[in-house]
């Protein structure tokens, strides 16, 4: 069986292969062509996450972008109400550091760091 190979520069070449390999290559090309045709005519909806899965959907819409912007503004406003020490310690806690690690970095007693962080949390919740 002869199989034709088309190259990017437009030239073609024929190769002699046995029947089994030729049938496999032909079937593979047919399947690839069918999948490409299906993909060209496939329309993705905003509800694609429900039907096709996460890889076909996006979680960003104008509404979610606006909500993110508003939340970011509220977070920044609440953080501005904290003292620099409280803000720094709360952000370190948010980055995954433990209270003992924060105390060691800040060179304070763990109890003092914990009290500062707890008051920062309360103040943040009040203004958020």
DSSP labels, 102-116: HHHHHTS-HHHHHHH
Identify the burial level of 85 via C-beta atoms within 10 angstroms of its C-beta, where 0-12 means exposed, 13-18 middle and 19 or more buried.
Answer: middle
**Percent of the chain, pLDDT > 70?**
84
Query: pLDDT by residue (tens digit) across 8-60?
Result: 888 888 988 898 988 898 899 899 988 887 777 665 555 655 666 555 556 67
How many whole angstroms separate alpha carbon 73 and alpha carbon 108? 31
Q: How many CA atoms lie within 13 A of 46 on its CB side?
A: 6
How many whole angstroms separate alpha carbon 23 and alpha carbon 28? 8
Res 64: pLDDT: 83
Reduce the DSSP state of residue 37 to 3 states and report it. Answer: helix
Res 50: pLDDT: 65
**Percent of the chain, pLDDT > 90?**
47
Res 56: pLDDT: 55
């Amino acid at each position: 069986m002869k199989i034709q190979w088309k190259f990017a520069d437009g030239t073609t070449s024929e190769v002699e292969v046995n029947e089994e390999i030729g049938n496999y290559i032909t079937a593979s090309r047919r399947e690839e062509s069918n999948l490409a045709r299906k993909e060209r005519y496939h329309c993705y909806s905003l509800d694609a996450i429900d039907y096709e899965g996460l890889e076909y959907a996006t979680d960003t819409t104008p509404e979610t972008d606006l909500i993110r912007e508003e939340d970011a503004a509220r977070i920044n406003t609440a953080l501005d109400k904290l003292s620099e020490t409280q803000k720094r310690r709360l952000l370190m806690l948010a980055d995954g550091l433990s209270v003992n690690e924060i105390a060691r970095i800040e060179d304070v007693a763990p109890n003092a760091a914990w009290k500062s962080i707890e008051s920062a949390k309360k103040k943040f919740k009040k203004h958020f």
